[in-house]
Structure 1
Amino acid sequence: MNVVSLLPSATEIVYALGVEPVAVSHECDFPPEAAEQPAVVRSRVDAGASSGEIDAQVLEAASDGGVYELDREALVAADPDVVVSQGVCDVCAVDSAVVTDAVRELGLDCEVVTTDPHSLGDIYDDIRAVARALDREERADQLITGLRERVERVQERAPIERPRVAVLDWTNPVMVAGHWVPELVAGAGGEYGLADPRDHSTPREWSEIREYDPEVLVVAPCGFGLDQTRENLGDLTELDGWNDLTAVKEGRVYAMDGHHYVNRPGPRVVDTMEYLAGLVHPDVYDAAPRDVARPLAEL
C-alpha cells in the first residue's frame, strides 16, 4: 500500500502503525528515515527568518494562494492508495481541501484521510482513522492503550498544588498555545488560565500575559527548535514588564522544542505531557532531556 503523508504528525502516526510512507512533506523528519522520503509539499515561507518576518510572510502567502504548494507531479509519481492530510491549521500544513481538489483533478484513485485534532481524544481518533485506512486497527488499539496508560501515570502523580502555566507557540506576535496544550498542562499538574481545551491558538495582548502572571512560562514557537527560539527571545525579553513576571523572577521560564513536541498532534504528544510535568513539578517528575527543554538562562 502506497501511503503519502502531508504533515509531520501524520507521518509519525503512519510509522507508529508500522507503515513506511512513500512520500511526505518537506517538514517530516521523525523518525529520521522520514526525511529520506520524497517530498510532495513545499513551503512558500522562509522558515529560517525571524518570528516577526515569518508572521508577515505567512499573512502575505495566505492571501495569495496559501502557505504551502502541493507538488502535483510528485504526488502522481507516488501513486498513492492513501493520502493523509489535515484540517486543523492552514499555517501548519497544506489544507485538506487543496488535497481533495488535487486528487480529483489528477484522477488519482486513492482515499484521503483528514486529521483534525484539538484534544488528546481527537488525536486518538485520528490514529484510529488512519489505521482503518491502512488496515492496522489492531496495531492502533495497542498504541492508544499504551498512550492512555502513560497519560494516567502522569495524572496520578500530579500534586494538588497547581502553578499558573502559560505556553507560547509564537513570540511576535505573542500567541498562547491552544488545542491539546491546555489538556497536556492540566494533566501535568498545572493551571492553564489563558485558554480552554480545544481553543485555537490565537494572538494575545501582552497585557493579558502580564495580568495572568504565569509562575511557569514555556516558550515553544511553532516550527522552532531550541536554537531558533534562542535567536528570537528578544521578542519577549524586550517587552515592557518582562522582568516583573513571576516566572522570570523565579527562573522558571523554559524554552521547549515546539517543532517536535508542542505542535505535532501525534503519538509523541504524550512525551510532551511528561516533559511539561517535569517543568511544572520538577520535584515530582523527571526533567526533560536538554535537547527538548531547558531554562532560558541556559540557552
Structure 2
Amino acid sequence: MTQNQTADLRILSLIPSATEIVDCLGLVERLVGRSHECDYPVSVQSLPVCTAPKFNPEGTSAEIHDRVTELLQTALSVYQIQTDVLEQLRPTHILTQAQCEVCAVSLSDVEQAVDQLTQTHPKIISLQPNTLAEVWQDIRRVGQTLGVATDEPIARLQQRVECCTQITEKIPVADRPTVACIEWADPLMAAGNWIPELVQRAGGKSLFGTIGQHSPWLQWEELVAVDPELIILMPCGFGLDRTQEDLELLAQQPQWSSLSAVKTGQVYITDGNHYFNRPGPRLVDSLEILAEIFHPDRFHYGYQGQGWQKLQSLRDK
C-alpha cells in the first residue's frame, strides 16, 4: 500500500494492545479514535473515546469483581460502545478482541455497534493471542489488512526476546526461582495465557497457569502449599500505585507472613496495566522486567521504579 493509500485509513482501536500494534507498524497517525483504556503512546490520549465501562471501576478488588460478575450473570456486556461517536468518526477499520469480555469490549459488542452504522461499513479485525507467537501473528495480520510491511517491526521485537533468552537458557535449573504471578488479589487469581511463557523465557519456573491457557483461580491454601520463592503482583488494569493497595490487602491474610517470599523480601509489584496484561509489543518489555527481577546480576534494563518495585523484607523491618 502506498503512502497515499494509507492516508485513506481511518483506524479505530478498542483495545490498548491493538493501539500499540498500530503504533509499532507506524500507523498511529491514522488512528481516529480509541477505547477509554488506550493511553499509549501518549499522543493517542487526545483522540475521541468510544467506549466506557458499565460498572464503577473504583473500589476494592473484591468490589470490582462482584460488579463485573453481576453484569455477566445478567447477560449484559461489561462495556458500552458510543455508536454516535463511531458514526462521526467514519472508521475504515476497527480493531477489537475476542479473548476476554471482562478486559475490553467484545467482538459481539463491536459487531452489534457496526450494524447500527449508516454512513460507513468498517472492516473489523479481532485479536485473540494467548502466546508470544500468536502476538507476532496478530501484528502480521493487522499489517497485512492495513497494507503495511511487518517483517522489520516483528524482527526487532523477536531480536530483543532472543537477546534475553540466549542468556537465560544457560541458567541452571537450580538457579531458576519458583514464581507465583498474581493477576487478581480478591478473589485470588494466577496469571495464565502468555505469562507462564514469559516467566520461563526470563529464567524462572512458573508455579501456576499453563502457557496459552486462561488464568486460573486460586485458593490461598494452594499458594501456601507451593510456597514460591518469588511472588509477583500484576493485577489486570492496575498501575503501580493501585497494585500497592492490593499488596496491602494480601498482607492482611493470616498466611501471608508465613510465605518464604514475604520473609525474604522477594515480593514485587508491577505495572500490570501497561505491561503484562496487554498482549502486544510491550510483552517484550514485560519479559525484560521479569528477567531483571529474577536475575538482577545478569540483567539491568532500567525498569525498576517505573515498571516494578520490590517489597521490603520482614527481616529488614
Interval of TM-score (by shorter of Structure 1 and Structure 2): over 0.9
What is the CA–CA distance in structure 2 between the aligned matches of 1:16 and 1:101, rounded to whole Å?
Answer: 29
What is the CA–CA distance in structure 1 between the aligned matches of 2:71 and 2:248, rounded to whole Å?
Answer: 25
Aligned residue pairs total 296
Structure 2 matches for 1:249-264, cutoff 5 A?
249-264=263-278
Superposition deviation, residue 125 in structure 1: 0.8
- Give the one of 142, 149, 156 matched to 1:146: 156
Q: Which runs of 4+ in 1 moved over 6 A?
A: none
* Aligned residue number for residue 139 of structure 2: 127
* Aligned residue number for residue 290 of structure 1: 305
What is the CA–CA distance in structure 2 between the aligned matches of 1:56 and 1:132, rounded to whole Å?
Answer: 40
- Give the one of 70, 87, 93 matched to 2:81: 70
Superposition deviation, residue 30 in structure 1: 0.4
- Give the one of 32, 41, 66 matched to 1:31: 41
Structure 1 length-normalised TM? 0.96
What is the CA–CA distance in structure 1 between the aligned matches of 2:282 and 2:246, rounded to whole Å?
Answer: 25
Superposition deviation, residue 238 in structure 1: 1.4
Equivalent position amino acid for 2:44 in 1: A
Q: Is the 8 A contact 2:207 2:228 kept in 1?
A: no
- Give the one of 169, 173, 184 matched to 2:187: 173
* Aligned residue number for residue 23 of structure 2: 15
Equivalent position amino acid for 1:116 in 2: Q
Superposition deviation, residue 49 in structure 1: 1.6
What is the CA–CA distance in structure 2 between the aligned matches of 1:25 and 1:62, rounded to whole Å?
Answer: 20
Superposition deviation, residue 50 in structure 1: 1.3
The alignment's C-alpha RMSD in Å is: 1.3
* Aligned residue number for residue 101 of structure 1: 112
Query: Alignment identity in percent?
Result: 38
What is the CA–CA distance in structure 1 between the aligned matches of 2:24 and 2:99, rounded to whole Å?
Answer: 21
Superposition deviation, residue 234 in structure 1: 3.0
Q: Is the 8 A contact 2:83 2:116 kept in 1?
A: no
Superposition deviation, residue 61 in structure 1: 2.1
Superposition deviation, residue 106 in structure 1: 2.2
Q: Is the 8 A contact 1:213 1:246 kept in 2?
A: yes
Q: Is the 8 A contact 2:14 2:104 kept in 1?
A: yes
Superposition deviation, residue 105 in structure 1: 3.3
Superposition deviation, residue 112 in structure 1: 0.4
SS in 2 for 1:264: coil
* Aligned residue number for residue 166 of structure 2: 156
Equivalent position amino acid for 2:42 in 1: P
What is the CA–CA distance in structure 2 between the aligned matches of 1:2 and 1:92, rounded to whole Å?
Answer: 24
- Give the one of 187, 200, 205 matched to 1:191: 205
Superimposed CA distance per residue, residues 27-69 of structure 1 (whole angstroms, 9 cap, x where no aligned partner): 1100011111101111122223211111111112223421100
What is the CA–CA distance in structure 2 between the aligned matches of 1:76 and 1:202, rounded to whole Å?
Answer: 39
What is the CA–CA distance in structure 1 between the aligned matches of 2:238 and 2:115, rounded to whole Å?
Answer: 34
- The alignment status of 1:61 with 2:75, answered yes or no, reads no
Structure 2 matches for 1:271-282, cutoff 5 A?
271-282=285-296
Structure 1 range deviating more: 83-92 or 95-104: 95-104
What is the CA–CA distance in structure 1 between the aligned matches of 2:186 and 2:221, rounded to whole Å?
Answer: 14
Which structure has the greater CA radius of gyration?
Answer: 2
Structure 2 regions of 5+ residues with no counterpart? 1-8
Structure 2 length-normalised TM? 0.90
- The alignment status of 1:248 with 2:262, answered yes or no, reads yes
- Give the one of 129, 138, 146 matched to 1:117: 129
